[in-house]
Structure 1
Amino acid sequence: MRFSFLRKAAITAILVALFDRLFTFGFSGAVIGGFATAWLVGMVLGRTDVRRDRRAWCALALAGVFAAALVDDPGPLNWTLFWCALSVAALMPRTGSFDDAWHWAVRLVLHAAAGIVTLIADLSRSLRARRDVRHSPGVVAATLALPLIGGGLFVALFAAANPVIARALAAIRLPSILQMLVWTLAAICLWPSLRPHPLATRLAARLPDPEPILPGTSLPSVLIALALFNGIFAVQNALDIMVLWSGGFLPAGMTQTEYVHRGAYPLIVTVLIAGVMALAMLRPGSASEHHPWARRMVVLWVVQNLILVASSAWRTIDYIDTEMMTGLRLAALVWMALVGLGLVLICWRILSGHSARWLINRNALAAFLVLAVCSFIDLGAIAATWNVRHQSPHRVDLCYLAGLGDAALLPLIHLEHQTMDAAMRDRIRYVRTQTYADLSARQESWTHWTARGERRLVRATAMLGPDPTRPSPLPNGAWRNCNGSVGGASAPAARP
């Protein structure tokens, strides 16, 4: 289309101006979701090929879902999923079909990396296409010299004669270098969605299927390795069963908490390495692919890896019971479930003869569904609620709850109403008061307002009533620590 480039350039300029207007004071609040929606609409208006592609509309619908999640509660996960869905929609018309998640991951990485190259190359190509004798720099300068010089002279004379014009000119502020840099970075991020660089699709199409290959995977080597690996893993699983599941004795000087915490994450790394090695040992076309004993020992090894995943999850759950729940530990349990599912899929792939593409797509779909669900829930709020319900008030880590921000507000209100001494209640009351005040201040600013924050504020206000009890005043020279305890002076008499 003749004016396609100009239309896309105009859409980019509008989006950059909107970005500058919305995020003058920082990148936060539900306005992130509003900008994401504007970006989505701009791409649909600027890309005819996207509007005509039914597969692209599926990705656009997903991008709209994650834009709504950004309005509700913006975060890095929601933004990443939105950008991925939007980029898939931008690249879909230039690919034959959705081949596999591996190639699409490479396309997205190249699409992101080629942003600055795309903008510069398109600007250079546009200038070369429009360059002729009538539009040479010399001709353009000669044409604009008289109107610019004459107009500037008259404006200066009128400014000297008219104070209104003088004040209007004095109020004009040219953008700073930092502001122009922000505009440039925004344009670099926005432009590729309207004009994707062909490098993203061409290079990814040349990549082979990701079949892992290990040196020395002859049939005797594979059989010996599998026998050895199964023996080593059997020892580890037996020890875990004795200590974790049967309450066996620990080595001298080691506590149950230390044993549990020490092995949770290294075992998951071990399982991931073992899964890749299992795929490499029985890759299609290898001598061991159809060997009955190799297949049996690989299946046994995968089962032992599943026991390791179960032990890692058990360790994490025990550590949560001993210490406390955190958002990261909850995310770790979800990750362990995904690893376990991946092992089951690896075993099924080996037994049924499916391709690596089948395996990658199933794992990617499972990971996407989990991440999509997590984008609409608050792991911090779940962790705070669990701690309040399963721990006594004196065991709850108030510093951690204070660090969660408004995610811990409702659990703090519930905690405040539990049975405890007056000093502990005063500490909880202080953390709750600070959290409530911070949330109220953010919700009053349109640049920081979020839908989830508004729901929490309304519910918290209803639970606290019109005149919530405030923490006890502090004597001169005293201060509050993150857990509400008083430092620097004797604690005041707490209100009941």
Structure 2
Amino acid sequence: MARNRYSFLVKLPTAIALIAAADQLFLGTAIGSWIGALALGWILALLLSRPALRRRPSLVALAVAAGFTGVLAHAPSLLGWVLFWSALSIAALMPRIGRFDDAWRWGLRLLAHAMTGPLAPLLDGIRLFRARPRRGRPSSSGLAALLVLPLAMTGLFLALFASANPLIARGLTQVSLPSSFSVIFWALVLLVVWPSLRPTRWATRIVARMPSADIELPGLPQATLLLSLILFNAVFALQNGLDLAFLWSGAALPEGVTLADYAHRGAYPLIATALLAGLFVLVALKPGSASAANPAIRRLVVLWVAQNLLLVASSILRTLDYVEAYSLTGFRIAALAWMGLVAIGLVLICWRMLAGRSAAWLINANALMAALALGAASVVDLDASAAAWNVRHAREVGGRGVELDLCYLSWTGPSSLLSLIELERRPLPPRFRDRVRYVRAEVLETLVRRQADWRSWTWRNQRRLDTARRLLGANPPAPAATWPGTHRECDGWIRDDPAPEPAPSVTSESDPVANAVATTTPPLTGTPSR
């Protein structure tokens, strides 16, 4: 217990230092590249306060976390922070595990660590308070009891002296206590930081009692599997045949069915169908079983997986058709990446059956593919990629795409700046050029304002700003001025201001005398008599 108390007292200053740094950087500020420096400081604090993390498995995880600190410094994002926290938490838990066994168990450990971590400061405080004292030293509870009376009486005497002495009262008024919001923020930071310094044992003990990924499930009779796979292949052949006939070849559809209706309805349901098919193969055909060794079943499974891959390809084509009709967004890029992961997962499921791999191998392979995709998404600006594609394929510049959505480019902010500048430099109709110039000016002003404050400054946006200034020159052209009674919409269109509401009438229902006069007095028309 003395060792635990020593560990607690050593790590407490580390937590206080991280809380102080977060207090100076987070409160009342925007998120900028400084968050990468704070994350790197967190890693260094762990290395200094936890010698167990200086071994190879933990160092590998900390190196991955350090890589994501670079991602956070380049362009802060929630995804980058989640990936950094995951790598850091793996390093924090690694001394109790010793190795990376499989992604299934580590996923459960991270979930348990996130759920039990907020309890770590409270549990450690209780342990420290109940710790038995060393010979000749007071216990934590005895020390607390020892300090209660002196501190309470000192506070009382100060209060009395302040009421009697204006100099002491003035000095006490200059002492500013932290606000309740600051105290709550410090507590939240402690709940995040402390579990990495002293993780609870529940995060590893609970997972140790859970079953492994290789769960024994009751098998299906081979006749049932054969009949199921034959029927599944027939139904999938019908869907894929229709896709090949109309979606891929462009043949004429029956009367009453448009290509837009056919192409845009089924992208996500088909992906759900492919996932369901992969789950069926995963559950019904365990490597090494008699069903998995049956040549007819193996051929039907391979054929079915191939049909599912064609189904995923058709879903991708549907999404691309949707993009061509309605433009590209960052979310649609993420959807296409997800469809690619589904296709890779189907191939891995089939290979697992054919090569006799374990369920842990399949989970690790899929987790690796997902980690690579998420890591790439944390580095690449999907909104900037979507803006560049929309500008190149817009109808206004001779492309085959739809009319350019300038409101979307304005909403994505600095991500669209360079694409807007590229568009502005092209030969455009004067009115459309003025709209593009207005949106570009608004986005540029927002970026300059963000980069002027070091707290919201980022490396990625600084490179964008430098490139924009080089392309625009010292005096970039300004959009046309608006006249009184008009305003600009988000897409640069000049609109009339809404008409003011009419002033309320002098008469009202609550004034019956005025209403009676108003209704009985005839209007003054014509020429009054002499």
Alignment of 1:329-478 (within 5 A): 329-393=332-396, 395-478=403-486
* Deviation (angstroms), 1:142: 5.6
Equivalent residue for 2:506? none
Q: Deviations over 1:193-239 (max 9, x none)?
A: 11111111122223333347777722222111111111111111111
Contact kept in structure 2, 1:475 and 1:489, CA below 8 Å: no
Which consecutive aligned stretches of 4+ in structure 1 deviate over 4 angstroms post-superposition? 130-144, 154-163, 165-168, 211-216
1:271/1:305 contact within 8 Å kept? yes
With over 3 angstroms needed to count, the CA separation of the structure-2 counterparts of 1:357 and 1:167, relative to structure 1, is same
Equivalent position amino acid for 2:153 in 1: I
Bigger mean CA offset, 39-48 vs 302-311: 39-48
- Structure 1 position 4, deviation (Å): 1.6
Q: CA RMSD in A?
A: 2.4
Hey, what's the Cα distance between the residues in 2 that align with 1:454 and 1:190? Answer: 30
Map of 1:123 onto structure 2: 125
Corresponding position of 2:179: 176
2:501 maps to what in 1?
Answer: none
Aligned to 2:42: 39
State how 1:300-319 maps to structure 2 within 5 Å: 300-319=303-322
Partners of 2:127 and 2:7 in 1: how far apart? Answer: 14
SS of 1:487 mapped into structure 2: strand
Contact 1:399–1:483 (Cα < 8 Å) also in 2: yes
Residues in 2 aligned to 1:136 and 1:89: alpha-carbon distance in whole angstroms: 31
One-letter code aligned to 2:16? A
Q: Given residue 295 of structure 2, which amino acid in structure 1 is its aligned partner?
A: P
Sequence identity percentage: 46
Q: Shift of the alpha carbon at 1:119?
A: 2.0
Instruction: Return the offset for 1:125.
Output: 0.8
Q: Deviations over 1:444-483 (max 9, x none)?
A: 1122111111111111111111111111111222221111
Work out the CA distance in 1 between the residues paired with 2:99 and 2:40.
26
Write the distance in 2 (CA, Å) between the matches of 1:439 and 1:383.
19
- The residue type paired with residue 339 of structure 2 is M
Q: Is 2:153 aligned against 1:149?
A: yes
From 76, 82, 85, the equivalent of 1:83 is: 85
Q: Distance in 1 between matches of 2:477 and 2:8?
A: 61
What is the alpha-carbon distance in structure 2 between the residues aligned to residue 148 and residue 348 of structure 1?
Answer: 72
Aligned to 2:102: 100
What are the residue-to-residue correspondences of 1:139-218 with 2, within 5 Å? Answer: 140-141=144-145, 145-146=149-150, 149-150=153-154, 153=157, 157=161, 167-211=170-214, 217-218=220-221
- 1:434 Cα shift? 0.7
Give the residue type in structure 1 aligned to 2:31: S
Q: Distance in 2 between matches of 1:232 and 1:275?
A: 16
| Aligned CA distance change for structure 1 residues 107 and 151 (closer, same or farther; 3 Å) | closer
The CA distance in 1 between the partners of 2:66 and 2:286, in whole Å, is 39
TM-score under structure 1 length normalisation: 0.92
Measured in 2, the distance between the counterparts of 1:301 and 1:442 equals 53
- Alignment partners' CA distance in 2, 1:27 and 1:273: 43
Count of aligned residue pairs for this structure pair: 488
Note if 1:6 corresponds to 2:9: yes
Matched residue type, 2:386: A
Pick which of 82-91 and 28-37 moved more.
28-37
Contact 1:31 1:447 in 2 (8 A): yes
Q: Deviations over 1:99-143 (max 9, x none)?
A: 111111111111101112222111111111157995576875565
1:220 matched to which residue of 2? 223
Distance 1:141 1:345, change over 3 A: closer
* CA apart distance, 1:353: 0.6
Q: Deviations over 1:405-453 (max 9, x none)?
A: 1000000001111222111111111110110011111111122111111
> Mean alpha-carbon deviation: is it higher for 183-192 or for 126-135?
126-135
Q: Is the contact made by 1:264 and 1:312 (CA closer than 8 Å) also made in structure 2?
A: yes
Name the structure 2 match of 1:292. 295
User: Could you say which residue in structure 1 is the equivalent of 2:63?
Assistant: 61
Unpaired stretches in structure 1, ≥5 consecutive residues: 491-496
Q: CA deviation at 1:274?
A: 0.8
Q: Does the C-alpha gap of structure 1 residues 143 and 236 become closer, same or farther in structure 2, counting only changes over 3 Å?
A: closer
Structure 2 alignment gaps of length 5 or more: 398-402, 499-530
Amino acid at match of 1:465: G
Do structure 1's residue 229 and structure 2's residue 232 form an aligned pair?
Answer: yes
Q: Compare CA radii of gyration and give the structure with the larger one.
A: 2
Contact kept, 8 Å, 1:211 with 1:280, in 2: the verdict is: no
Instruction: Tell me by how many angstroms 1:7 deviates.
Output: 1.3
Query: How far, CA to CA, are the matches of 1:219 and 1:370 in structure 2?
Result: 37
Gap change, CA 1:203 and 1:263, over 3 Å in 2: same
Letter in 1 for 2:119: V
Q: Which is worse superposed, 287-296 or 418-427? A: 287-296
Corresponding letter in the other structure for 2:458? T
Aligned 8 A contact 1:211 1:283 in 2: no
- Partner AA of 2:412 in structure 1: L
Cα gap change, 1:159/1:82 in structure 2, threshold over 3 Å: closer, same or farther? farther
Instruction: Give the Cα–Cα distance (whole angstroms) in 1 for the partners of residues 266 and 118 of structure 2.
Output: 43
Cα deviation digits, residues 265-296 of structure 1 (max 9, x gap): 21111111110111112114644121221111
The 8 Å contact of residues 209 and 356 in structure 1, kept in 2 or not, is answered as no
Name the counterpart of 2:113.
111
Separation in 1, partners of 2:170, 2:213: 66
Measured after TM superposition, the shift of residue 150 of structure 1 is: 4.4
Contact 2:129-2:141 at 8 Å conserved across structures = no
